[in-house]
Amino acid sequence: MPRKRQTATIFREFILGKHEILFYLKSSPASKWYLRLRQNWRDHRITVGTVESRCDLRNEPTIASEAIRLWEQTVLRCDHLFSNSRAVQQSLQSEYGLKSEIVPTGVDTKFFEPVRHRTPNSRLRVLFVGSLRPFKQPQLLLDAALRFPDADFVIAGDGPMASQLNDRMRDQNIRNVRFAGLLAAAQLRHEYQQADILLFPSVWGGIS
């Protein structure tokens, strides 16, 4: 879908919608236009933004400065802010001096539920789920795969490091890692259910 049309549709709903609260305002051009407009407009509707990662974004090289600026101009200018953890709340306070309330990240536990009676894996299965970016450290899965050749490793996700990881697997002949790519909900649930260990080596994020 053309992005400009999407932006226009969302912006129009921001302006003309009958809502009293605009919640979960995203870092987007539509949000930026709306927040600029309401500065000079007696719009009494409440805006609520959520912050779900640490706020020292400039320390993460894969996030463009333009994206950080847009985030600062949108989410951080909401009337109220939620953080998804105490670490994020503290980061928001220390980086920007902004207060927020903690609303933990939600999980559909009816959908993402363990299998009660699963046939044990013949080899230990280790799962990584997330975007393939430096701060998520997916390369540690390859390190672990080399160190533990009797275990199987699954990487679910995609991102800028995908080709680099694939190249390393080929160069080092790593055979006990499977790239699952981006998965639909049911497939992802299956991977979670079949895994023995979830490896989450991210050094930077929102849950801590």
Partner 1 sequence: MKRVRILVDSFADKGLLNAQMTNAREIIRRLDPELFNVSTFCVDEPDLDIAGPTQYQADQVAPQTADGHHLPRIYSWKA
Residues that bind partner 1 (CB under 8 A): 1-2, 5-6, 9-10, 13-14, 17-26, 28, 30-31, 50, 52, 84, 103, 105-108, 111, 182-185, 188
What are the CB-based long-range contacts (under 8 Å, 24+) for 190-193?
A: 191/127, 191/129, 191/154, 191/156, 192/112, 192/114, 192/127, 192/129, 193/114, 193/115, 193/118
Which C-beta is closer to partner 1: that of 135 or that of 144? Answer: 135
CB of 86 to partner 1, least distance (A): 16
For 66, list phi and psi in degrees, rounded to 5.
-65, -40
CA within 13 Å, CB half, 179: 21
CB of 176 to partner 1, least distance (A): 26
Which C-beta is closer to partner 1: that of 135 or that of 142? Answer: 135
CB of 129 to partner 1, least distance (A): 10
CB of 111 to partner 1, least distance (A): 8
**Closest Cα partner for 114 from 179, 189, 52?**
189
Which C-beta is closer to partner 1: that of 33 or that of 148? Answer: 33
Which C-beta is closer to partner 1: that of 157 or that of 161? Answer: 157
Distance CA 58, CA 204 (A): 12
